[in-house]
Amino acid sequence: MTTTDRIRAMLVKDYKIDPDRLTADARLEDLGIDSMGLAELMFNIEDEFRVTVPDEQIQLSTLGDVANYIDKLMARNDSAPATPAAMADTAASTGGVNTQPAS
């Protein structure tokens, strides 16, 4: 199952969005996902994908943008050395999200 497929399943289950609307180029705003909804989605993605979303300003305007961003986070995690300090930082992280859908 691809990252996009997993996110689509989350959106269908948690947001009750028709799966036919969930294409890679579907705009989050058009799907009814505002900045608060995106923050909630990112928290759920952290749990589902076991990643920590950095507290940084990013523009995610489509479902494809979200999937690509998560793929990059997972790739970064896969390439990072597993040091005890890094593992402690990850465990202690609250996963603050400062993301906004593009206008």
Specify if 100 maps to a domain. Answer: no
The tally of CA atoms less than 13 A away on the side-chain side of residue 51 is 22
Split into its structural domains, the chain has a count of 1
Please report which confidence band the pLDDT of residue 93 belongs to, taking 50, 70 and 90 as the band edges.
Answer: very low
pTM equals 0.74
Instruction: Tell whether the model's pLDDT for residue 20 goes beyond 80.
Output: yes
Instruction: Tell whether the model's pLDDT for residue 96 goes beyond 70.
Output: no
List the catalytic residue out of 14, 34, 47, 55.
Answer: 34
Specify if 40 maps to a domain. Answer: yes
Specify if 101 maps to a domain. Answer: no
Q: What is the CATH number of the domain that holds 71?
A: 1.10.1200.10
- CA–CA distance from 78 to each of 1, 23, 31, 50 (Å)? 18, 27, 31, 11
Exposure b/e, 17-40, CB count within 10 A at least 16 = b: beeeebeeebebbebebeeebbbe
Expressed as residue numbers, the domain containing 68 is 3-92
Mean pLDDT, residues 15-27: 96
Specify if 9 maps to a domain. Answer: yes
CA 19, CA 103: separation in Å to the nearest integer?
23
Residue that wins the pLDDT comparison between 24 and 55: 24
pLDDT of residue 95: 43
Specify if 103 maps to a domain. Answer: no
Q: What is the pLDDT of residues 31-88, one digit of tens each?
A: 999 989 999 999 999 999 999 998 888 899 999 999 999 999 999 887 766 555 555 4
Q: Is 34 known to be catalytic? A: yes
Specify if 78 maps to a domain. Answer: yes
Specify if 58 maps to a domain. Answer: yes
Specify if 60 maps to a domain. Answer: yes
